[in-house]
Structures are given as structure tokens and as C-alpha cells.
Structure 1
Amino acid sequence: MATSRRVSRVSALIKREVSQLLCHEIKDDRVGAGMVSVTDVVVSGDLQHAKIFVSIYGSDEARAETMEGLASSSGFVRRELGQRVRLRRTPEVIFLEDRSIERGDRVLTLLTQLNQDRPLGEEEE
């Protein structure tokens, strides 16, 4: 049980630090400030790998460009994490795009459309 508590604590620390890095310190123009947010961090049980899920606002082209920028800055992010989070070994950083917010929005839109398309008499049944 202690291992999972430690992993979740490390995940929360990494999420906080990477969020700050995205806002203030990554200088790559492809990573637009304010357009990227960290939604989740999944750290492996041995603390060797960290999957960082990010939500990106913008067109498909802008998202692809941002993901390229994040991939190229993963070494910098790992180095910074090594200095900020005290661990024996700094986990390898992998950025993944999280589209769950987009999917949720699409589902809500479809549900609203279905509700509007329904004839008035069906609501009471």
C-alpha cells in the first residue's frame, strides 16, 4: 500500500511542477502558453516512467505542433524535474495528448441535440 501512496504523491508533484514549467519556463514557441494544461500524470510503479497527459486548445494543426514542441522539450522537463523533485532517479517523461474533454463536449452536444429533436409528448413517458 505504501508504494501506491508514494507513486500517487510523486504523480501529484510532477503534475504541479510540469504545469508551472508549461506556464513559465518552456521557451519553445510551439508550446503556446495558456493553451496547454496538464490533465493527469501516470507514474510507473518503479518510478522510472512518467506519462504526462495534456489537453491542448486549438486546431488540429496547432495541437500537432504543440505536441512536437512538448516532445522536443521532454529532456528539459526531465532535467528540471530532477532538480525540483527529490528522487533517486528522475523518471523518463512522455507527453501524451488527452482528448477526453473534447470527447465529453461532443457527447454533451449530441445529448442536447437528441433532447431538442424529441417530440414534446415523449418527455412525459
Structure 2
Amino acid sequence: MSYPRVKRLSEEIKKIVSDSIRNELRDPRISSMTSIVEVDVTRDLRYVNIYVSVLGNEKEKADTMEGLTKASGFIRREIGKKIKARYTPEVIFKLDESIEKGIYMYNVITKVNEENHLSEDDSNDTEDDSDE
């Protein structure tokens, strides 16, 4: 069951965190290709899981996650300044690789479709030759 207040709070936190990462954090470890995919606030509003996507190699991902983890106190303080709630939720960053997995799957499907298309063309060419 979805709770409207939790959903609204999640969206607001997503905006705040995205803005903070883009404009206020100066940590060189955090990649410029970092995006917030999803924000889940627990029902008791004590914790917020922030799913982050980082496009880059494994080192960039690890560095970005380390930088975000170190900046979680700052981000929590920014959330506390901008939302009116009894508790400011504790920020937990999690790496989300679903975008990269989607790109990989798209490439695999495209490759298979191209191979099927080429094999169909070859079989059509041989059928045309046998008809003559």
C-alpha cells in the first residue's frame, strides 16, 4: 500500500538531493555522470534509501559511492533545512545499475535481431537462387 505523504516526501527529497549533488557538493570523487534513480522513504520517516546510478567504470562508481557516503551528513542537513518534518531521515546511498543493465540488454537484443535479419536475408537469397 502506498502512502501519499511518504510518496510526496520521497519526491521532494529526490529534488533536494539531486540539487545538492549537482550544485553544492564539491567532492572530486563524485562523478558528473551521477543521477538519482529512486528515493524510498520508510513508513516511519526515519530512513531514506537513495538509489544512485553512475555511468563510468568500476573505480568511478566506487569513488562516487564513497564520496556520497561521506557527504551523507551534509545531505541529511540539507534535507532537514528544506522539509518540515519531525525527524530528518538518515540517508543511505545504494548503487543502482539498472540503467547499465538495460543498455547491455538493449545491445544484446539488437545484436541478435541483426544476426536474425542477416540469416533471413541469406536464406532468402538461397531460396531465390533455387527458384531460377
Task: Say whether the fold is shared (TM-score over 0.5).
Answer: yes
Instruction: Give the RMSD, CA atoms, in angstroms.
Output: 1.5
Instruction: Say how many residue pairs are matched.
Output: 120
| Aligned position for 1:97 | 95
Q: What's the CA shift for 1:117? A: 1.4
Identical-residue share of aligned pairs (%) = 41
TM-score by length of 2: 0.86
TM-score by length of 1: 0.91
Alignment of 1:53 with 2:51, yes or no, is: yes
Give the Cα separation in 2 of the matches to 1:106 and 1:36.
Answer: 18
Query: Which letter maps to 1:93?
Result: V
| Aligned position for 1:110 | 108
Q: List gaps (5 residues or longer) in structure 2.
A: 124-132
- Per-residue CA distance 1:35-61 (angstroms, 9 max, x = gap): 111111001011111000111111110
Stretches (4+) displaced over 2 A: none
SS at match of 1:81: helix
- Per-residue CA distance 1:44-96 (angstroms, 9 max, x = gap): 01111100011111111011001000000001100111011111000000011
Equivalences for residues 27-42 of structure 1 within 5 A? 27-32=26-31, 34-42=32-40
Q: List gaps (5 residues or longer) in structure 1.
A: none
